[in-house]
Amino acid sequence: MAAAFPSTRLRRTRTHDWSRRLHRETTLSPADLIWPLFVIDGEGQEQPVSSLPGVSRWSVDLLVERVGEAIDLGIPCVALFPNTPAQLRSETAEEAWNPDNLLCRAVRAIRERYGDAIGVICDVALDPYTSHGQDGLLDEHNYVANDATIEALVKQSLNQAAAGADVIAPSDMMDGRVGAIRQALEEAGHTNVQIMSYAAKFASAFYGPFRDAVGTGGRLKGDKRTYQLDPGNSDEAMREIALDIAEGADSVMVKPGLAYLDIIRMARDRFDVPIFAYQVSGEYALIEAGVAAGIGEREALVMEKLIAFKRAGCAGILTYHAPLAARVLAG
């Protein structure tokens, strides 16, 4: 038990900057960051995302330049999300396993330019490829069919792994998909391809700008509550995480992040796998709106929120502010 005041003065170690740094319990580095990037068709194309100030969609050639920027900043990994051309979206999402689809072309371009200098995460879900905007295939009652969707997700995952993806990240929340994907990867010889499972993905109001960025917002029919988690359920989130780990996930993700720090902490205390969080589009947009309204300074707001993720137990954070944070951390 600590001695009483004045023998113990907790302010003593806060007096100087060097001492505050020495006693800091939680630290952040560029190696903790993953930069989500949006890719579009074409060449020499940048499309700013209106609902995400400062974020753009990039054609493959310009996306490759952004990846080089990430390498220079010490960011170890990028996560790619395609805005599939409208004419290639369908009820059955066949474009998801086309070897020459937009995402696969982007992965190959990154590999050709940079080799293994940076990790590439590929999202696995059908919403960028379906005409209805759902993450899976619909049955005759417009219900997302679990098992039929898994078959499609396996084909999508193998397609991405063949293109050179380092990490497959299933974000669809279908039951049993991690085990099916892991088995397929092993059988195809992709034994070192990781699975970062969106194990605790909640049905959230914070996803709107992302759906704009990938072109699914206006297409979405209904909602995603039959497969994404209810925001009130923490025990169910732990069950989802446990199942995905048992099926072969190398790491798991909690999404969104800031409103679910308790879920991150529970997962960190309970499971011995890396826990990641996605600071989602709505969280990013709220920071930018706050800055525009003059309620706070961008760097301070960003860094305080990122350290909160680390303090809660995250091994890393997906954030659109990754380049800004890396520059701040570099001094």
138-149: pLDDT as tens digits: 999 999 999 999
Domain assignment present for 221: yes
In a domain, residue 80? The reply is yes
Residue 212 counted as domain residue = yes
> Quick one: pLDDT at residue 296?
96
Catalytic residue among 201, 224, 305, 310: 201
Is position 35 within any domain?
yes
Q: What is the CATH number of the domain that holds 181?
A: 3.20.20.70
Query: Is 261 a member of any domain?
Result: no
224 among known catalytic residues: no
* 310 catalytic residue (yes or no): no
Task: Report d(CA 179, CA 23) in Å as an integer.
Answer: 42
Look up the domain containing 180 and give its range.
28-252
| Any domain includes 188 | yes
Residue 251 has pLDDT above 70, yes or no: yes
Structurally, how many domains does the chain consist of? Answer: 1
Residue 86 lies in a domain: yes
SS3 for 95?
Answer: helix
Report the candidate in 230, 222, 7 with the shortest Cα–Cα distance to residue 133: 222
CB atoms inside a 10 Å sphere around CB 12: 8
How would you class 28 by CB atoms within 10 Å of its CB: exposed for 0-12, middle for 13-18, buried for 19 or more?
A: buried
What pLDDT is recorded for position 1? 66
| Contact partners, residue 41, CB within 8 Å, separation at least 6 | 59, 83, 85, 102
Give the mean pLDDT of the chain: 96
8 Å CB contact between 201 and 171: yes
| Residue 327 forms part of a structural domain | no
Task: Render pLDDT for 53-100 as a digit per residue (tens, 0 to 9).
Answer: 999 999 999 999 999 999 999 999 999 999 999 999 999 999 999 999
Which amino acid is located at 61 in the chain? D
| Of 52, 35, 33, 37, nearest in space to 292 by CA | 52
Instruction: Decide the pairing of beta strands 251-255 and 194-201.
Output: parallel
State the catalytic residue, choosing from 224, 255, 305, 310: 255
Q: What is the pLDDT of residue 246?
A: 98
What pLDDT digit, counting tens, does each position of 203-229 carry?
999 999 999 999 988 888 789 999 999
